Amino acid sequence: MTLAATNVITAEMLEVMPTGNRLELVKGELQELMLTGYEHGVCTHRLSSRLGVFVEDNDLGEVCAAETGFIIDRNPDTVRAPDIAFVSKAQREVLGITLKGYMPIAPDIAVETISPNDSYTESHEKALMWLAFGSRVVLLLDPRKANITVYRSKKDISVLEANDTLEFTDVVPGFSIALHKIFAT
């Protein structure tokens, strides 16, 4: 849902905005995010916790939870928040990024979990948006279908099913997880 805006909002304005709502900024316009369901939260946490421990144990960077803002475009500003984000240590060191405020880059990996109120078309477009702004891998977790769509480019898109294993060793060397561990009920 886009909130009516009389002026273009900037990332800096969004960061200090007093609100209890979950908001993203898309081309200068506020978008309110809907609360998600239990299944969404459980599946997202299962992947996030395992990826986070692996990344931390191997000193590969940082895994961020939902509501972590990434400034991916300016003038007008776009600040998006994937359900899970991975920022590599190498990317942070090259850019000299601190851990304060919104990250001025797209994460290496952006994970979006499809909620019942999300359309597949909107989710696909969001995945392509992350790629366009620099994410190396985008994952769409679909709790309803118990699968993950892996985006590496507009043309390199694959779907992993319940018996498959998720890995992206070119981005997070050595990490893998069986999908049944994410979608188990």
Residues 133-151: tens digit of each pLDDT: 999 999 999 999 999 999 9
Residues 86-131: tens digit of each pLDDT: 999 998 887 776 667 888 899 999 999 998 888 999 999 999 999 9
Q: Assign a CATH topology to domain 37-183.
A: tt1808, chain A (3.90.1570)
pLDDT at 6 (0 to 100): 55
**Mean pLDDT, residues 157-171:** 95
Distances (CA, A) of 90 to 16, 103, 107, 174: 29, 15, 12, 16
Exposure pattern of 90-106 as b/e (b: 16+ CB <10 Å)?
A: ebbeeeeeeeeebbebb
| pLDDT, averaged across the chain | 89
pLDDT at 99 (0 to 100): 66
Confidence of residue 5 (pLDDT cuts 50, 70, 90): very low
pLDDT at 2 (0 to 100): 47
**Mean pLDDT, residues 11-29:** 79
Task: Return the DSSP state at 154.
Answer: S
